[in-house]
Amino acid sequence: MRSLLWPVAAAAAGLAYASVYEVRAFTLRKVTVPVLAAGSEPLRVLHLSDTHMTPGQLKKQQWLRGLADLQPDLVINTGDNLAHLDAVPSVLAAYGDLLDLPGAFVFGSNDYYSPVAKNPVNYLRGGTGGNWRREKDLPFNELRHAFEQRGWTDLTNRHASFVVQGRRLAFVGVDDPHLNFDVLDEIPADPDADLAIGVAHAPYLRVLDRWNALGYPLIMAGHTHGGQLRIPFYGAIVTNCDLDRARARGLHHHQVAGQDPSWLHVSAGLGTSPYTPVRFACRPEAALLTLTGIDSSGSRI
């Protein structure tokens, strides 16, 4: 009997850690990306993703409000802001003064559809679950209008450009590839821009391949939650898309044959579904990317 107690106790301790402490242990990750022209002044980009906000998540809201003190030059939001029908005011209050900075956004599935209970075993086997044939029931249009009213740019299946700190940035974005809402085109990255950035919620390979082939030096996405449950010395168990586990979070590169590599930054996100409020070895995060000039050889990677 005693031999059974230790595994049970260890499992209980792990669950308590994952569901009580780590899921609220918000972390700011800092990353340097050499992607601008040689000699360029740095540009600081705050990457927010997968907030999955509910009105009662006061600690998360307070932590997010504090990110405005970083004074980033640009905010990129890669979706899944909502996890409750009444969460829009909480999201706007949490983002606070960040909404007054230059910003751009796309939406994810949990900006359109409220979360539902799913079999976690199916998720760990790589199944995505969910019934996307139901009506969109979250107030995404209200959220979109609020973001745009504060000055953020909607990149939902769109191109856009604007000036940040004297640099003209060009963007391409897609609606959520996890829902097959993405519309990809063949328009190359603007060669006259100081930097061209691709923005998507879910980092599906068809999107990454297209944007790398079209010459986008930087691609930003979320969705994976960094795996949400990671095994030490092994990493993410799943990514919930066709991206490999090794790139479930953080800065990597992506390259198709015959093309220069693009930098790919995947955020592990700030939240979880209310039905699976656990994280293990994968703290909730926002990321501050410092974009710098490429080295003297001209290499991006």
Q: Above 50 in pLDDT, residue 9?
A: no
Domain CATH for 180? 3.60.21
Domain limits for position 162? 2-293
Answer yes or no: is 162 within a domain: yes
Please write the tens of the pLDDT for every residue from 72-116: 999 999 999 999 999 999 999 999 999 999 999 999 999 999 999
CA atoms 96, 276, 157, 256: torsion sign? positive
Mean per-residue pLDDT, 39-67? 98
Confirm if 78 and 294 have CB atoms less than 8 A apart. Answer: no
Answer yes or no: is 301 within a domain: no
pTM of the model: 0.93
Select from 89, 41, 87, 92 the least CA-distant residue to 68: 92
Answer yes or no: is 189 within a domain: yes
Answer yes or no: is 190 within a domain: yes
Answer yes or no: is 299 within a domain: no
Confidence (pLDDT) at 8: 40
Answer yes or no: is 111 within a domain: yes
- The half-sphere exposure of 125 on its side-chain side, counting CA atoms within 13 A, is 7
Answer yes or no: is 192 within a domain: yes
Sheet with 74-77: list strands edge to edge. Answer: 27-36, 285-293, 43-48, 74-77, 103-105, 153-154
Confidence (pLDDT) at 20: 75
- Which structure tokens are listed for 293? 């000039």
Answer yes or no: is 159 within a domain: yes
Confirm if 71 and 97 have CB atoms less than 8 A apart. Answer: no
Confidence (pLDDT) at 128: 52
Mean per-residue pLDDT, 194-223? 98
CA atoms 140, 83, 127, 158: torsion sign? positive
Confirm if 116 and 84 have CB atoms less than 8 A apart. Answer: no
Mean per-residue pLDDT, 176-201? 98
* Total number of domains in the chain: 1
pLDDT higher for 129 or 34? 34
